[in-house]
Chain A
Amino acid sequence: GENVEQHPSTLSVQEGDSAVIKCTYSDSASNYFPWYKQELGKGPQLIIDIRSNVGEKKDQRIAVTLNKTAKHFSLHITETQPEDSAVYFCAAPIWGYNNNDMRFGAGTRLTVKP
């Protein structure tokens, strides 16, 4: 089955700096990789996703890069702001009966210091 590893577990940056979170996956058949942001006491919110037919996707200050050969993908946040502080989860699909099944990384707690 799919195994997703996420690093680092915690990340602290100064406001305005960039933050990078990395995930690796094990199933070479995986072709969809979402990133979620979870604020305290709330459910995860999808912030960006990428499919394996592209290597990079950007949405304003957020970008995701994918290296299918190495089986890893990364979340990049530029010009970080205090409101970016949250826990971020990556995920990769498990293919089987339910094509929505996902395995989530352990999460990265990002703190942006003003």
Chain B
Amino acid sequence: GAVVSQHPSRVICKSGTSVKIECRSLDFQATTMFWYRQFPKQSLMLMATSNEGSKATYEQGVEKDKFLINHASLTLSTLTVTSAHPEDSSFYICSAGGAQETQYFGPGTRLLVL
């Protein structure tokens, strides 16, 4: 149980385009989902927290207009990187939390912006 999927697993896009990443909890309902960014050989940096049906809470320094988060249901959250630039290239990982504190992570999405 507690499986979280992400799609796509990797994406290459041109500078200026937008990219949408989906995060799904497959066998449980996630009241809260989290989006992280991870640079090579570094730890997980929390970008934002989203609760189903409400606006996401962004961490300091994360542009909410650039990283659009939608948590439309208890099993789906999406992250859209708008007008992507090469510096947005990174490994994006989502996690989903249930009723207790445990977070279950997706497999990650590697974004490369050319």
Contact = CB atoms under 8 A, between A and B. Distances in A.
Interface of A: 32, 34, 36, 41-46, 49, 89, 91, 93, 97-107, 109
Given A97-B57, A98-B57, A107-B43, A43 B106 contact: yes
A93 B57 CA distance: 16
B108 A43 contact: yes
What's the dominant secondary structure at chain B's contact region?
strand
Contacts of B49: 98, 100-101
Given A43-B93, A107-B43, A102 B103 contact: yes
B105 A100 contact: no
B44 interface: yes
A60 B32 CA distance: 31
Contacts of A107: 42-43
Nearest to B30: A100
Interface string B62-103: 000000000000000000000000000000010101001111
Contacts of B58: none
A105 B32 CA distance: 21
